Amino acid sequence: MAVQEIRAFNRFYTNLIGALDYSKHLYTPYTLTESRLLYELAHAPRTDAADLRVELSLDAGYLSRLLTKFERDGLVGRAPSEQDSRRQRITLTARGRKAAALLDERSREAVGSLLSRVEPERRAELTEAMRTVRDILGAGRPGPPYGDGRVLREPVPGELGWIVQRHGAVYAAEYGWNTEFEGLVARIVADFARDHDPLLERVWMAELDGSPVGSVMCVRDDPPEVRDSAPHTARLRLLLVEPGARGHGLGERLVSAVVEFARAAGYRELVLWTNDVLAAARTLYQRAGFTLVAEEPHHSYGADLIGQDWRLPLREEAVISQDGPGSGQ
CATH number, position 74: 1.10.10.10
CA 239 to mean position of chain CA atoms: 12
Regarding whether 293 and 159 lie in a shared domain, the answer is: yes
Question: How far is residue 234's CA from residue 230's CA, in Å, rounded to a whole number?
Answer: 12
Its pTM stands at: 0.57
Question: What is the domain count for the chain?
Answer: 2
- Among the candidates 114, 138, 162, a domain finishes at 138
The dihedral of CA 10, 16, 17, 19: what is its sign? positive
| Phi and psi at residue 123, to the nearest 5° | -70, -40
Query: Among residues 298, 278, 52, which one has the least CA distance to residue 310?
Result: 278
What percent of the chain clears pLDDT 70, i.e. is strictly above it? 83
- The CATH code of the domain that includes 224 is 3.40.630.30
Q: Is 196 left (phi over 0), alpha (psi -120 to 50) or beta?
A: beta
Report pLDDT for 323: 37
Query: Among residues 12, 42, 26, which one has the least CA distance to residue 113?
Result: 26
Regarding whether 203 and 109 lie in a shared domain, the answer is: no
Regarding whether 306 and 163 lie in a shared domain, the answer is: yes
Regarding whether 255 and 158 lie in a shared domain, the answer is: yes
Regarding whether 238 and 128 lie in a shared domain, the answer is: no
- Greatest extent of the chain over all pairs of C-alpha atoms, in Å: 69
Report pLDDT for 288: 93
H or E stretch at 55? helix 49-56
- For the cut 90, the answer to whether the pLDDT of residue 286 exceeds it is yes
The parent domain of residue 53 ranges over 2-138
Q: Is residue 144 part of a domain?
A: no
For the stretch 150-192, pLDDT in tens is: 688 889 888 999 999 999 999 999 999 999 999 999 999 999 9
- Among the candidates 138, 167, 193, a domain finishes at 138
Q: Is residue 34 part of a domain?
A: yes
Count of CB atoms within 10 A of residue 18's CB? 13
Regarding whether 155 and 267 lie in a shared domain, the answer is: yes
CA 43 to mean position of chain CA atoms: 6
Regarding whether 59 and 187 lie in a shared domain, the answer is: no
Q: Write out the DSSP string of 238-293.
A: EEEE-GGGTTSSHHHHHHHHHHHHHHHTT-SEEEEEEETT-HHHHHHHHHTT-EEE
Q: Is residue 320 part of a domain?
A: no
Regarding whether 85 and 52 lie in a shared domain, the answer is: yes
Count of CB atoms within 10 A of residue 44's CB? 23
Using pLDDT thresholds of 50, 70 and 90, give the confidence band for residue 295: very high
Count of CB atoms within 10 A of residue 6's CB? 12
For the stretch 310-325, pLDDT in tens is: 999 997 544 443 333 3
Regarding whether 195 and 245 lie in a shared domain, the answer is: yes
The dihedral of CA 58, 64, 69, 73: what is its sign? positive
Q: By mean pLDDT, which of 60-64, 138-142, 218-222, 302-306 is the weakest?
A: 138-142
- For the cut 70, the answer to whether the pLDDT of residue 254 exceeds it is yes
| Whether the Cβ atoms of residue 265 and residue 200 lie closer than 8 Å to each other | yes
Count of CB atoms within 10 A of residue 30's CB? 18
